[in-house]
Amino acid sequence: MTIPGSIGTGPVVDRHGKPLRALNQFDARAEEPVAVQDDAPPAEVLVTEHGTAAVERPRPGSRASGRVRRIGLSLVVPVLLLVAWHVATEVTGTFASYELPSPGSVVAAGVELATRENGPTFFTHIQISVQRVLIGFVIGSVTGLAVGALVGLSRLADGLLAGTVGAVRAVPSLGWVPLLVLWIGINEDSKVLLVAIGAFFPVYTTVASALRHVDPHLVEAGRAYGLRGTSLLLRVQLPAATPAVVSGLRLALAQSWLFLVAAELIASSMGLGFLLTDSANNGRVDRILLSLVTLAVLGKVTDALIGVVEKRLLRRW
Amino acid sequence: MAITAPITVRSHPAHPVAVRGVGRTFPPRDRGGRAKAVLADVDLDIAAGEIVALIGASGCGKSTLLRQVSGLDAPTAGQILIDGTPVAGIDDRCAVAFQEPRLLPWRTLAQNVAIGLPRGTDRTAGAQRVTELLELVGLGECTGYRPRQVSGGMAQRASLARALARNPGVLVLDEPFGALDALTRLKMQDLLLEVHAAEPTTVLLVTHDVDEALYLADRVVLLGRPDGAPTSAPAGVRSVVTVPGARPRDRADAQLALLRAQLLEGLGVPSHHVAHDADAHHSI
């Protein structure tokens, strides 16, 4: 693409073949309005209707095939592991079934749990765990956002709180359990609260540091245009910190799953963490593997979902 | 640079600015350090609609003075009056454009310009004003671009449009073209003059470029320390030069060349100007 009037693109003429008058900066007015001159956007950056740069987007066909290829590539290792697992248990018999049950028997355990008449089914375990993670994640990340914003924006709050919160953060997840049980009791609240504690810290840390490091030039420009307090936060500081906030949310969700298992390991009658301990006590290795694989898959799926949200949110950055 | 769209004529408030005995001393950075006096006893009167250029050596307090006028910073002595009332804090009557465009990268150019609109602007009127201003600065085609998709010159023009959106009585420009390449800078100077003709607000601009000051300004103010003063002494107004001739001026004008030599000498830069050249021109 040749930009009219750009330097080094040969004779500079307008669409009538006359020398382009607008190129002369001493010439107040060009004969023909020339909309875009030599300081037009770089040729390779084309803007689509949605305002995203087309250059970052390869042809649709190659993009789709690229995605298929990536998914295929990421499945190679799990499939190989599954095959190796099957071979080691069913074919060669390297491991006894009480050491490492075969993939087939893990699936069978899942089916049995899912269809059983008495007691919580497999789906009940999943449902209650997902519910605890989501509620805890929302509470923890909203609180993390609020406290992080406070510490990131106010020097006073930073001085008062940053040290204490950092120390509390160092407490391991299981350390909270006795106190939560003592103060709140053995119920949903204590488990959700533990998950919330897990979700709080990644959001708090990333938000506080991102807000502290927002480009001071942008903040000053915002102030110069009459933005202050909440309007400055909402229009300049939070949007500038959004990429960091989103990655903090992603970390928080992962940490929520870790804290969930801690919450369910002790004092629960449902959930994947309970299934894990219960099976360990009963020597059901197949169910242990079942709950581990389920936790891995659920964690990955929720992470992928938040990844989609991240992509949509950050399209403008 | 050509304006491609007709400009709607608006009744525009241009405010006079009075700088009265302004001084700014910064507190010491660390314990035992010394307070740094950057400006002292600055007096300056700017008429409504006038273009005044501030020049001075690097670090002499030009930008500091601009920050006092725009209310981004408060003087430690004296006061600044815009239209007769003192400046206290960020002033609605003032709009600033910085050396860097400082556009919000997640907003389109149009959305960035909209930030400049005064609070409580009607939505449709605001959108119309933004379109009008972007056309005024020659960005009518680029309203949906994001700052990283446009060149430095275009971003700087958007920054100028954002300042104008505020409908300012005083337009404060801190080395607005300093970061641009030489050719784009010349074009931007003409653009600024066209904008000033269309919306004749008071303009106070800082520049490093003596030619730019002489091309744009009604008066050029030289800031600096008094002769023989130590380098730690605060700066004040050394001289004020009224630039002859109506705009647009001939950049090669002999009278301007003479003033240029004087100002450069005032800045402590030998101009190597040969006086009889100018005399020869005068005799024609």
Nearest Cα residue to A313 out of A247, A235, A219, A233: A247
Higher-confidence residue of A23 and A196: namely: A196
- pLDDT (0 to 100) of residue B167: 87
**How many angstroms away from the CA of A221 is the closest CA of chain B?**
7
Run of H or E residues at B24: strand B17-26
β-pair partners for B242 = B219
pLDDT at B106 over 70: yes
- Domains, chain B, with CATH or none: 17-93+168-283 (3.40.50.300), 94-167 (no CATH)
Q: According to the model, what pLDDT value does residue A34 have?
A: 40
Closest Cα to residue B164, out of B68, B96, B81?
Answer: B96
Mean pLDDT is lowest, of A53-57, A108-112, B67-71, B106-110, for A53-57
Instruction: Give the per-residue pLDDT at B188.
Output: 86
Q: pLDDT per residue over B79-89, tens digit each?
A: 999 998 999 88
Cβ atoms within 10 Å, residue B203: 25
Residues of A in Cβ contact (< 8 Å) with B154? 39-41
Give the strand pairing for B202-206 and B77-82. Answer: unpaired
CA distances from residue A164 to A73, B258, B281 in whole angstroms, order as listed: 45, 66, 76
Give the model's pLDDT for residue B226: 84
The pLDDT confidence band at residue A16, using thresholds 50, 70 and 90, is low
Q: Which of residues 212-241 of A touch B (CB under 8 A)?
A: 217-218, 220-228, 235-236, 239-240
The confidence band for A61, taking pLDDT boundaries of 50, 70 and 90, is: low
The number of beta carbons lying within 10 Å of the beta carbon of residue B123 is: 9
**pLDDT value at residue A8:** 40
pLDDT of residue A60: 56
Helix (H) or strand (E) holding A256, with range, is helix A238-265
The span from the CA of A151 to the CA of A58, in Å, is 42
Q: What distance in Å separates the CA atoms of residue B95 and residue B176, rounded to the nearest whole number?
A: 13
Which of A45-49, A109-113, B182-186, B190-194 shows the lowest per-residue confidence on average (mean pLDDT)? Answer: A45-49
Average pLDDT, chain A: 81
- Find all residues with CB under 8 Å of A180, minimum gap 6, and list them: A190, A193, A194
Please state which of the ranges B4-18, B169-183, B241-255 shows the lowest mean pLDDT. Answer: B4-18
Q: What is the mean pLDDT of chain B?
A: 86
By the CB < 8 Å criterion, does A35 face chain B?
yes
Contacts of A239 in chain B (CB under 8 A): 104, 106
Inter-CA distances, B49 with B203, B218, B248, B271, Å: 7, 10, 16, 31
Chains A, B: CB contacts within 8 A come to: 94
For chain A, the domains span: 1-57, 58-95, 101-316
Using a CB–CB cutoff of 8 Å, tell me whether B6 touches chain A: no
Could you read off the pLDDT of B252-266 as tens digits, one per residue? Answer: 888 888 888 888 888
Q: How far is B228 from chain A (nearest CA, A)?
A: 35
From chain A, pick out residues whose CB is under 8 angstroms from the CB of B141. 35-36
Q: Are A207 and A244 in contact (CB under 8 A)?
A: yes
Rounded Cα distance, A146 and A141, in Å: 8
pLDDT tops 60 at residue B278: no
Backbone angles phi, psi at B189, to 5 degrees: -65, -45
Q: How large is the average pLDDT for residues A223-241? A: 90
pLDDT of residue B11: 47
Q: Output the pLDDT for position B136.
A: 85
| Residues 6 or more apart whose Cβ sits within 8 Å of residue A103 | A82, A85, A86, A89
More confident residue, B135 or B274: B135
pLDDT, greater one: A13 or A80:
A80
- CA–CA dist B154, B160 (Å, integer): 10
* A315 in reach of chain B (CB within 8 A): no
- Cβ neighbors of B114 (< 8 A, separation 6 or more) are B126, B127, B130, B165
Flag if B146 and A25 touch (Cβ within 8 Å): no
Residue in A219, A79, A90, A227 with CA at minimum distance from that of residue A152: A219
Residue among A270, A133, A269, A149 nearest A206 (CA): A149
Predicted local distance difference test score (pLDDT) of residue A94: 87
Tokens 């300049």 locate to A236
- Confidence band of A293 (pLDDT split at 50, 70, 90): very high
Could you tell me if B117 and B130 are in contact, meaning their C-beta atoms sit under 8 angstroms apart?
A: yes
Q: Report the pLDDT averaged over residues B112-126.
A: 89
Mention every residue, 6+ apart, whose C-beta is less than 8 A from residue A282. Answer: none
Mean pLDDT within A127-131: 95
- Tens digits of per-residue pLDDT, B25-77? 998 887 778 888 899 999 999 999 999 999 998 888 899 999 999 999 999 99
Q: Could you tell me the pLDDT band of residue B249, with boundaries at 50, 70 and 90?
A: confident
Q: What is the pLDDT of residue A131?
A: 95
Name every residue whose Cβ is closer than 8 Å to that of residue B166 and which is 6 or more positions away in sequence.
A225, B92, B94, B95, B116, B117, B118
- Give A70's contacts (C-beta < 8 A, 6+ positions apart): none
pLDDT at A35: 42
**B45 phi and psi, to 5 degrees?**
-120, 130
C-beta separation of B273 from B261 below 8 A? yes
Inter-chain CB proximity A53 and B184 less than 8 Å:
no
* A117 phi and psi angles, rounded to 5 deg: -85, -45
Q: How far is CA B226 from the centre of its chain?
A: 24
Q: Say which CATH superfamily domain A101-316 falls into.
A: MetI-like (1.10.3720.10)
In angstroms, the Cα distances linking B125 to A222, B116, B121, B128, B130 are: 22, 13, 7, 5, 9
Contact B110, B134 (CB under 8 A): yes
Is the pLDDT reported for residue A246 higher than 70?
A: yes
Q: Apex CA B245: angle with CA B241 and CA B251, to 5°?
A: 90
Q: Which chain B residues contact residue A220 at CB under 8 A?
A: 72, 98, 102
Q: What is the pLDDT of residue A31?
A: 40
Q: Is the pLDDT of residue A299 over 90?
A: yes
Q: Counting every residue, how long is chain B?
A: 284
From chain A, the residues in CB contact with B146 under 8 A are 51, 316
- Residue B227 pLDDT: 80
Of these ranges, A254-268, B100-114, B187-201, the one predicted with the greatest mean pLDDT is B100-114
pLDDT at A59: 55
Q: Which residues on chain B are in Cβ contact (under 8 Å) with A227?
A: 115
Share of residues in chain B with pLDDT > 90 (%): 46
Per-residue pLDDT tens over the stretch A133-181: 999 999 999 999 999 999 998 889 999 999 999 999 998 888 888 888 8
Comparing A157-161, A242-246, B173-177, B277-281, the range with the smallest average pLDDT is B277-281
A190: closest CA of chain B, how far (Å):
40
Half-sphere exposure of A169 (CA within 13 A, CB side): 16
The residue of chain A with its CA nearest to that of B165 is: A225
HSE toward the beta carbon, residue A60, CA cutoff 13 A: 0
**Contact across the interface for A45 and B72, Cβ inside 8 Å:** no
